[in-house]
Amino acid sequence: MTTVTLPGFFERLSLALRVLGDPTLAARLRDAPALPSSSSEAPRQIEERVVEKIVERPVEKVVEKTIEKIVERTRIDPEAGALHVLALLQREGRLVDFLQEDIAGAGDADVGAAARVVHAGCKKALQQYFVLEPVRGEAEGAGVVVDRGFDPQQIRLSGNVSGAPPFKGTLAHAGWRAKDVKLPDRPPSVDARVVAPAEVEIP
Amino acid sequence: MTSARFSIGIDLGTTNTALACAPLDANDAPAPFALDQVVAAGEHQARPLLPSFLYLPADVELPAGALALPWFADPRYCVGLFARERAASVPGRVVSSAKSWLCHAGVDRRSPLLPAGAPEDLQRLSPVEVSARILEHLVRAWDQAHPDAPLREQDVVLTVPASFDAVARALTEESAKSVGLERLTLLEEPQAALYAWVAAQGDGWRKHAKVGDLILVVDIGGGTTDFSLIEVKDEGGNLALHRVAVGEHILLGGDNMDLALAHRLKAKLEAEGRELDDWQLRALMHSCRAAKEELLEHDKKQKVPVAIPGRGSKLVGGTIRTELLREELSETLLEGFFPEVDAGARPQQAKKAGLMTLGLPYAHDAGITRHLAAFLDGRTPTKLLFNGGVTKSPLLRARIAGIVKGWLGGALELMESPELDAAVALGAAYYGRARTGKGVRIKGGASRAYYVGIERSELAVPGVAPRVDAVCIAPLGMEEGSEIELPMELGLVVGEPATFRFFASSTRREDAPASTMDPKKAELSEVAPIEATLQGPAGALVPVKLHARVTEVGTLELSAVESGTHKRHKLEFNIRVE
């Protein structure tokens, strides 16, 4: 059996806070092989006797809970989430049907009729499951100022980009940001790869 | 019993069910409660409305856990949105409009009838059981979110159409109690809508109403239309609300309108040589609803395109396209359902068919304004409150208000209800709290007068059935908690069921208890027989007096009280259909 030096309480607390702020570290910790458990009992008991009870318990509890949550979130398969959205857009708006079709030879009237089905249904789905808002509230075409310390994830500069902000420019696209996502709950037993089931009509 | 923390309002609608709650120990406005439900196979989510549909899938139909909810890992049935979605694909396995069946006197409402047209292997359910399943869903969804305040321990106000008769109310109570909702009160939907208005106005409601106001509530839901008149009276210097009249039950609502539009467009497509199957007709109905709403909202638009996808994965080319024109909407909707008629108009009576099919007794005359003219019968409301999804349309509100104004030749003030989808549930939650003393209450009592049929003692003539007198046992407006005893003494035979015919009237307000009349001449409608079986030595004759009581729940209770011993026997409605 290997002997492991176990971290003290404050070291554990600081580690927990680092995990909170760093998903990559959290993933590494989660995926690391578990320590042999038998050696952890004794030093832990000593630790608890040393540190004052009133301080330790509540703090440790809160931190552990948060870590649990992070781990749980990262466990959700991003692939399943993407497939779920695809299934919703197909169910409500037949999006996959539409995109899988070859429309090169179809007349505009037929494409237009199909587009109405897709538009009406996908719009309903979008409103039901996502709360979207523009990144910038100004009207498109209006003059805007990009402040110092702006977030390049939220604002993409184009044209004559040089020097340091603030920049003056014109809002070409107001952007979209998901304020909220409200996907229905789906148990892990659901086969996410079935985007739409085959339908068989029994006469 | 533990004390309740919330007043819960439940709007158990024909097409949608809603729940709202108000804390009993605070004056917070009632709030809607979103109901977790299966929205697709394997997915659940909380939504403001729970479609009143019950889906009973075959064992092999869905993968395990497809109908799972947080409180039920593998249910064999489902209530709500997914059930409604499946109605088009497996109509034999989905129950819709159970509430309309609950007030259908032509069938035995405790017998397993639903879904109508179910396959052989399906265990059917009675209208009472279906209502209970929907209510049970509400209990579970609420309890999941409030483990410390379970629904069965709260004060529950369940709404019913004003036009529900004593039997339909008793059956509603029965289904609620079967899922443990014992702390129950029934409330009429139009009253609940008015309570929602009062709740939204707060203390200011008195500024918007004056003594002598007569409020007309027009409630047009998905499946039913209901009218009530509520009078503002002076009671010791305070404003008080009294419900003075309720209309007949009209089985007609927004779903009929969407279906009428869908059939109109179907005929148009067929004239162009394009056939629609049932699945596409259903899709057409959905698109018609959306197109209707768009035309009703934008009165400048002359047409809205309607596209119906084919069922296969080929969308381009497989989609049928047509459009709904404004003149088609006007003809079908305005002329069909809301015709401009004068105050003397009356709905066309149905021709008596030789054989009635075992379906719902839909209104024979779709003209809602004709039904409204018959209901008002010359009375002159001063205010108008709309309720129900159909009345969300400003155009339809204006149409109805315009027609009623034309009848009055005077002013009619429109009252604005804030949230039409949730108004009834919110109003019911408000009322539940008002019962505890916090807020205004509408008085009304029994919505109908009730009569028992008593055979006349006269010389028997062979071949002629003995004539029956209708004796008033509960006058219209009889107050909750009050009891009436009929003075006449009757002899009941012990050991065999004693049966009385039972009648009702929603218009005869002048009849006092014990008033006697010919049921035909008085235009009473027959409700259902009532019966009791007295236990004891067979053949003995026991003198009894009949009692009627309006319970705190809001139902009518009839009993036979033995004259000597004062022993009480409850009279039950016999709703079996011979």
What confidence tens digit (pLDDT) does each residue in B31-84 have? 999 999 999 999 999 999 999 999 999 988 998 889 999 999 889 999 999 999
pLDDT at B298 over 80: yes
Which of A190, A191, A193, A201 best tests the B interface by mutation, with the highest count of B CBs <10 A? A190
SS3 call for A131: strand
In this structure, the answer to whether residues A177 and A89 fall within a common structural domain is yes
Q: Is B578 exposed, middle or buried (0-12, 13-18, 19+ CB in 10 A)?
A: exposed
Q: For position A27, what pLDDT does the model report?
A: 58
Bridge partner list, B37 = B45
Using CA coordinates, name the residue in chain B closest to A117: B307
| Least confident residue range of B112-121, B255-264, B355-364, B389-398 | B355-364
Q: For position B568, what pLDDT does the model report?
A: 87
Q: For position A49, what pLDDT does the model report?
A: 41
- Domain residues for the domain of A30 are 9-75
In this structure, the answer to whether residues A115 and A172 fall within a common structural domain is yes
Cα–chain center distance at A91: 22
| % of chain A at pLDDT higher than 90 | 44
| Least confident residue range of A63-67, B55-59, B394-398 | A63-67
Orientation of helix B278-297 relative to helix B394-408, angle to 10°:
70
In this structure, the answer to whether residues A13 and A96 fall within a common structural domain is no
Question: Which of A75, A102, A129 corresponds to the end of one domain?
Answer: A75
Question: Mean pLDDT, to the nearest integer, of B21-35?
Answer: 92
**Could B316 and A114 be called an inter-chain contact, meaning their C-beta atoms sit closer than 8 Å?**
yes
Q: For position A52, what pLDDT does the model report?
A: 40
Q: Is B54 exposed, middle or buried (0-12, 13-18, 19+ CB in 10 A)?
A: buried
B193 in a structural domain: no
Q: Are A117 and A129 in contact (CB under 8 A)?
A: no
Question: Mean pLDDT, to the nearest integer, of B499-523?
Answer: 89
pLDDT tens digit string along B163-199? Answer: 888 899 999 999 999 999 999 999 999 999 999 998 8
Q: Give the B-side interface with A, CB within 8 Å.
A: 39-45, 63-66, 68, 89, 287, 290, 305, 307-309, 311, 313-321
Helix or strand run (H / E) with residue B156 = strand B155-160
**Could B315 and A185 be called an inter-chain contact, meaning their C-beta atoms sit closer than 8 Å?**
no
Q: How far apart are CA A9 and CA A48, in angstroms?
A: 9
Total number of domains in chain A:
2
In this structure, the answer to whether residues A112 and A176 fall within a common structural domain is yes
| Least confident residue range of B3-17, B49-63, B317-331, B440-454 | B440-454
Residue B458 binned pLDDT confidence (cut-offs 50, 70, 90): low
A189 in a structural domain: no
pLDDT at B395 over 90: no
In this structure, the answer to whether residues A83 and A29 fall within a common structural domain is no
| Least confident residue range of A17-31, B315-329, B331-345 | A17-31
Question: Mean pLDDT, to the nearest integer, of A137-157?
Answer: 93
In this structure, the answer to whether residues A107 and A126 fall within a common structural domain is yes
pLDDT at B102 over 50: yes
Using CA coordinates, name the residue in chain A closest to B90: A201
Q: If you write DSSP's letter for every residue of B47-108 in order, what string do you get? A: ES-EE--EE---TTTS-TTTT-BTTBSS-S-EESHHHHHHHHH-GGGEE--HHHHHT-TTS-
Residue A71 binned pLDDT confidence (cut-offs 50, 70, 90): very low
User: Which of B555, B481, B576, B538 lies closest to B160 in space, CA to CA?
Assistant: B555
Q: Are B380 and B264 in contact (CB under 8 A)?
A: no
In this structure, the answer to whether residues B398 and B424 fall within a common structural domain is yes
Q: Are A92 and A125 in contact (CB under 8 A)?
A: yes
Question: Mean pLDDT, to the nearest integer, of B449-455?
Answer: 88
**Could B321 and A113 be called an inter-chain contact, meaning their C-beta atoms sit closer than 8 Å?**
yes
Highest mean pLDDT among B56-65, B101-110, B129-138, B288-297: B129-138
Residue B283 binned pLDDT confidence (cut-offs 50, 70, 90): confident
Count of alpha carbons within 13 Å of B1, Cβ hemisphere only?
10
Q: For position A6, what pLDDT does the model report?
A: 56
Phi-psi map region of B390: left, alpha, beta (phi>0 left; psi -120 to 50 alpha):
alpha
Tokens found for residue A37: 């458990």
Characterize B456-471 residue by residue with b for buried, 16 or more Cβ atoms within 10 angstroms of its Cβ, and e for exposed. eeeeeeeeeeeebebb
Question: Mean pLDDT, to the nearest integer, of A130-158?
Answer: 93
Highest mean pLDDT among A177-191, B145-159, B509-523: B145-159
Candidates B45, B68, B313; nearest CB to A187? B68
Question: Which of B436, B471, B499 corresponds to the end of one domain?
Answer: B436
- Residues of chain B with C-beta less than 8 angstroms from the C-beta of A185: 43-45
pLDDT tens digit string along B406-418? Answer: 999 878 999 987 6
> 10 Å Cβ neighbour count for B109?
27
Residue B494 binned pLDDT confidence (cut-offs 50, 70, 90): confident
In this structure, the answer to whether residues B62 and B123 fall within a common structural domain is yes
User: Which of B186, B215, B233 lies closest to B424 in space, CA to CA?
Assistant: B186
Characterize B338-361 residue by residue with b for buried, 16 or more Cβ atoms within 10 angstroms of its Cβ, and e for exposed. bbebebebebeeeeeeeeeeeeeb
Q: What is the mean pLDDT of chain A?
A: 75
**Which of residues 93 through 112 in chain A touch B, CB cutoff 8 A?**
94, 97-98, 100-101, 103, 106, 109-112
| % of chain B at pLDDT higher than 70 | 95
- Please report the ipTM that was assigned to this predicted complex: 0.74
Tokens found for residue B427: 């109003």
- Domain residues for the domain of B473 are 449-573
B222: CB partners within 8 A, 6+ apart = B13, B14, B15, B16, B253, B254, B255, B388, B389, B390
pLDDT at B280 over 80: yes
In this structure, the answer to whether residues B372 and B320 fall within a common structural domain is no
Q: How far apart are CA B119 and CA B75, in angstroms?
A: 20
Q: How far apart are CA B127 and CA B101, in angstroms?
A: 6
Q: For position A59, what pLDDT does the model report?
A: 40
Residue A132 binned pLDDT confidence (cut-offs 50, 70, 90): very high
In this structure, the answer to whether residues A131 and A55 fall within a common structural domain is no
- Residues of chain A with C-beta less than 8 angstroms from the C-beta of B65: 187, 189-190
In this structure, the answer to whether residues B467 and B505 fall within a common structural domain is yes
A158 in a structural domain: no
A61: CB partners within 8 A, 6+ apart = none
Count of alpha carbons within 13 Å of B15, Cβ hemisphere only?
18
> Higher-confidence residue: B233 or A41?
B233
What separation, in Å, do the N-terminal and C-terminal C-alpha atoms of chain B show? 42
In this structure, the answer to whether residues B426 and B471 fall within a common structural domain is no
In this structure, the answer to whether residues B178 and B98 fall within a common structural domain is yes
Q: Are B469 and B454 in contact (CB under 8 A)?
A: yes
SS3 call for B246: strand
Q: Is B429 exposed, middle or buried (0-12, 13-18, 19+ CB in 10 A)?
A: buried
Q: How far apart are CA B136 and CA B146, in angstroms?
A: 15
Q: For position B402, what pLDDT does the model report?
A: 94
pLDDT tens digit string along B550-567? Answer: 887 888 888 889 888 888
> Higher-confidence residue: A188 or B13?
B13
Residue B213 binned pLDDT confidence (cut-offs 50, 70, 90): very high
**Could A91 and B317 be called an inter-chain contact, meaning their C-beta atoms sit closer than 8 Å?**
no
Q: How far apart are CA B54 and CA B91, in angstroms?
A: 11
Tokens found for residue B191: 């009253």
In this structure, the answer to whether residues B383 and B469 fall within a common structural domain is no
Q: What is the mean pLDDT of chain B?
A: 87
pLDDT at B311 over 90: no
Q: For position A51, what pLDDT does the model report?
A: 39
**Could B40 and A91 be called an inter-chain contact, meaning their C-beta atoms sit closer than 8 Å?**
yes
| Least confident residue range of A41-45, A149-153, B226-230, B393-397 | A41-45
In this structure, the answer to whether residues B403 and B500 fall within a common structural domain is no
Whole-angstrom CA distances from A131 to A180, B37, B421, B545 are 5, 21, 21, 65
Question: Mean pLDDT, to the nearest integer, of A10-16?
Answer: 57
Is any Cβ of chain B less than 8 angstroms from the Cβ of A185?
yes
Characterize B544-567 residue by residue with b for buried, 16 or more Cβ atoms within 10 angstroms of its Cβ, and e for exposed. bbbbbbbbebbbbbbbbebeeeee
Bridging pattern class, strands B6-12 and B155-160? parallel
pLDDT at B428 over 60: yes
- Residues of chain A with C-beta less than 8 angstroms from the C-beta of B320: 113
